[in-house]
Chain A
Amino acid sequence: MKSLLNFFNSVKLAIFLLIIITLVSMLGSLIPQHRSLDEYVARYGQFAHLLNQLQLTKLYQSLWFIALLCLFALNIIVCTLTRLSPKLRKALHPKLEMESKEITVLKIKGEFKKNIGLDTAKKELKKELRSRHYRLKEVERENKTFLLARKKILGWFGADVVHIGILIILAGGIISGAGGFRKDLTFKERDIRGIPGAEFKLRLDKFETEYYPNGSVKDWKSTLTVIENEKPILSKVIEVNHPLSYKGFVFYQSSYAWNWTNTSVGIWVRKRKDPSFLRKIDVTVGKKVRLESENIHISVLHFIPDFVINERNEVTSRSLQPNNPAAFIEGWEGDEKIMSGWVFSKFPDFARIHSEKETDLSFELKNFKADQLSVIQAAKDPGVNFIWVGCTFLMIGLALAFYWPTREIKVILEESQGKTEVIAGGIASKSREALQSEFEKIMTSLRRLR
C-alpha cells in the first residue's frame, strides 16, 4: 500500500504519463478516427484489422486511453494531497520561533544593531510592513520578538488550484462521455418531434437560409417552439453559435438538408430557328404543363440533385446536395410523345434530348425549388458544467502560480543592554528582485530610527 502510494506520489510518474499521453494523442491525430472498416482497409491494407483490435481507430474513446487518463488523474490526486497538508499547515499555523541561522542562510537578508528600544523598532517595522500589505504574526520569548510577515499566500496554492481544475475537467469529460447524448434531428417546417429522454417536444415553425450577395451561405435560422403537455412553452430563433437551451437539453442549428419529394423546376424553352421565341415554364416533378401558344405539353418525370451514372449504368444521385441538378423531361404533342431526355442546370450544352419527331425546341434547366430541411442537433451534456468550473479553477490557479508571488519576511528582534539587534530575511516564491528592493527599503527605514 505504502509503496503504491509512493508510486503515485512521484513527479517522475507524472512526467512519464504526460509524455506517454502526448505521444498517444499525436498517434491518434495521424490516424483518422471513427471511419468505416472499409476505409481503413483501403488506407492501411492488412494493418486495418490490427488497428481496429488495438482500438486505434477510436483511440480517444478506447478503454486503454481512458485508463491512462485515470492513472494520470490518480497521480495528480496523490501528488496534490500529499503536498497540500504540509503547505496548509505552513500557511495557517506557521512556526514563529526560529534560530537566527535559519534567517542568515536566506538569499535576501540583513542585520544590524542600533541604539534604540525594541518597542520603537518593532513599532516602526510593523508600520512599514503593514503599509506594504503584509499580514503579521508575532511571538515574544524572553527578550526576543519573532515576527513573521507574509503576503499573497494564495500564490503557494496556485499549482494545487490548477491541478484541482484539471481533475474537475477530467471528471467532466468522463461524465460527458458516459452520460451525454447527442442526436441529429431532421425537421420539415411544422414538424413536431419528441426528444429521446425528454418530456417535451420540439416544433420547427420556420426555417430559412440567408445568403451573402456572392451566393455563399450567411446563416441558417430555425424558429423552434418547445411543446410540453400539448402547450407551447417558448419559442426561439436559433442559428449557428446561438443554440436553444431547455431543461438540460441544448438544441443546435447543425446543418440543413433538402427535401426532394416535392421539387418544382424552372425550364426555359427556345426555338433554334426563332431567336425571339422564349417560354419560361415552372413545373412540378410528375406534372405536365402546356407550352403557351403551342400545341405542346412539357412534363418533368424525374429530378436528380446530384446526377451521376453508376458502374451499372444507372442514373442515380450521388448525394442529397444539389451539386449537379438534372431533370428528365418529356414533350408531348397531343397524346404522342415527341421527345424525351435529360437537361442539366450546370451543363446546359450537354442536354441529351431524343426526338421522335422533327422539332427545333431546345430546353434549359434554369432553377429548381425544393423545401429545405433543418438539421437540429439535440444534445444533453451533464459534464459541461464541470468543465466550466474546472476551467475557472485552471485559470485562477495559473494566475496565482505565475502572478501572485508569495513573499515572506522573517525578523528576529533582540534587546540587550539598551540596544536592539535586528536580524531579518526574505523569501519570495518568484521575482526575488522585487522583494529584495522592498526589503532594502524596510531595513533603511529601520536604520534611520533614532
Chain B
Amino acid sequence: MNESTLFLATFILYVISAFYYFSFLFSKRANLAKIGFSFAFVGLFIHTIALVLRTFESGHAPFTNMYESLSFFAWSSILAYIIIELKYKIKRAGPYFMLIVIALMALASSPLMPKEATPLVPALQSYWLWLHVSVTLLGEAFFAVAFITSIMYLVADSKKGKGIKSGLSAEKLDSVSYKCIAIGFPLFTLGALVFGMIWAYYAWGRFWSWDPKETWSLITWFVFALYLHTRIVMGWKGRRSAYVAIIGFLAALFTYFGVNYLLAGLHSYV
C-alpha cells in the first residue's frame, strides 16, 4: 500500500459519501445520510493513514507543495465537518460540504499538481512548518463549514420569505455559522498570524514583511473580526452576517490559492 493508492481510495470513499448524502437530500430518508456520514468517517480514517504514510515517504510534514496541502486541507475539512455534524446535527449541509471536499480532492489529483515529494528547501526545515500550516488549515476548514451553512442560510431565508419551510431552520444555520467561526477564528489567529509571525522571525529575521500572503491572511482575519463585531456589538444577524462569513471564506481561499498564482512574494512554497 502506498500513499497514492490510499489517496485514491479516500477520494472514492468521499465520492460515495457525497452520493449517499445527495440521495438523502432527494429521498428524505435519514438513514442514507447516516451511511453518507459513515463513508466520510471511514474516508477520514484512510486519509489519515495516507497522510502518515506520506510523512514517512517524504520525511517531512505532509503539506509542503500544492498537492500535499490540498490533500491536507480536504482532510481538515472532513474533520471539521464531522466535529460540527456530531455536535450540531446539520446533516443537510453534508451533501454541499462533500462537494467542496471532492473539489479539493479533484484539484489535488489534477495533473497540474506535481505529486512527487521533493526535499525541503532550507527555509521550510522547521517544526514551525507543522504548527503554522496545520493549525491555519484547520481554522480555514471551519470557515469552510461556515461558508456552506451561510449559503444555506441565505437560501433558507429566501424560502422562508416565500413561506416554504426548509429542512434546517434559518435560525439554526445562522447559529451554526457563528459557532464554526467561533472555533475557526481562534485557530486561524493562532496558526496563520501568531505562529506565522514567530516562524517568520526565525526564518526571515522579521515577524512581518507585508508579503502578499501575510497581507491577505490579515485581510481574512479582518473580515472575520468584522463578522464578530457587527454580530456581537451591533447585533447583526442573518443575511448580513451570512454575507460577511461568505466573503471571509473567499478571502481565506484567495490567501490560500490566489496569492500563489497572482501575486509574487516571499511565500513561494504553498
Contact B189 A395 (CB under 8 A): yes
Contact B205 A398 (CB under 8 A): no
Contact with B121, one of A217, A250, A254 (Cβ below 8 angstroms): A217
Q: How far is A240 from B206 in the complex, measured between Cα atoms in Å? A: 13
> With an 8 A cutoff between CB atoms, is B269 at the interface?
no
Q: How far is A379 from B212 in the complex, measured between Cα atoms in Å? A: 22
Within 8 A of A (CB), among B179-210: 182-183, 185-186, 189-190, 193-194, 197-198, 201-208, 210
**Chain B interface residue number, banded:** 35 or more
Contact A241 B186 (CB under 8 A): no
Contact A212 B197 (CB under 8 A): no
Contact A241 B203 (CB under 8 A): yes
Which residues on the B side are within 8 Å of A173 (C-beta)? 208
Contact B205 A241 (CB under 8 A): no
Which residues on the A side are within 8 Å of B167 (C-beta)? none
Contact A216 B119 (CB under 8 A): yes
Majority-rule SS of A interface residues: helix
**Chain A interface residue number, banded:** 35 or more
Q: Which residue of A lies closest to B259 (CB)?
A: A29
Contact A19 B219 (CB under 8 A): no
Q: How far is the CB of A224 from the nearest CB of chain B, in Å?
A: 15
Contact A25 B215 (CB under 8 A): yes
Contact with A32, one of B123, B233, B234, B264 (Cβ below 8 angstroms): B264
Q: Which residue of B lies closest to A30 (CB)?
A: B263
Contact B125 A21 (CB under 8 A): no
Q: How far is the CB of B116 from the nearest CB of chain A, in Å?
A: 11
Which residues on the A side are within 8 Å of B216 (C-beta)? 29
> With an 8 A cutoff between CB atoms, is A276 at the interface?
no
Q: How far is A28 from B212 in the complex, measured between Cα atoms in Å? A: 8
> With an 8 A cutoff between CB atoms, is B161 at the interface?
no
> With an 8 A cutoff between CB atoms, is A280 at the interface?
no
Which residues on the A side are within 8 Å of B128 (C-beta)? 241
Contact A29 B263 (CB under 8 A): yes
Q: How far is A394 from B259 in the complex, measured between Cα atoms in Å? A: 26
> With an 8 A cutoff between CB atoms, is B229 at the interface?
yes
Contact B205 A254 (CB under 8 A): yes
Contact B218 A25 (CB under 8 A): yes
Contact A25 B219 (CB under 8 A): yes
> With an 8 A cutoff between CB atoms, is A182 at the interface?
yes
> With an 8 A cutoff between CB atoms, is B223 at the interface?
yes
Contact A398 B210 (CB under 8 A): no
6 A-B pairs closest in CB distance: A240-B122, A241-B126, A398-B186, A252-B205, A60-B210, A212-B119
26 contacting pairs across A/B (C-beta < 8 A): A11-B229, A11-B234, A15-B229, A21-B222, A22-B222, A25-B218, A30-B263, A32-B264, A33-B210, A219-B125, A240-B122, A241-B123, A242-B202, A253-B122, A379-B206, A381-B206, A384-B201, A387-B201, A387-B207, A388-B198, A391-B197, A395-B189, A395-B190, A398-B189, A402-B185, A403-B186
Known contacts A182-B206, A220-B122, A241-B202; 16 additional CB pairs below 8 A are A12-B234, A18-B229, A22-B219, A25-B215, A25-B218, A29-B216, A217-B122, A219-B125, A240-B125, A240-B203, A381-B207, A388-B198, A395-B186, A395-B190, A399-B186, A402-B185
Interface residues in chain A, defined as those with a beta carbon under 8 Å from any beta carbon in chain B:
11-12, 14-15, 18-19, 21-22, 25-26, 28-30, 32-33, 60, 173, 176, 182, 212, 214, 216-220, 239-243, 250, 252-254, 377, 379, 381, 384, 387-388, 391, 394-395, 398-399, 402-403
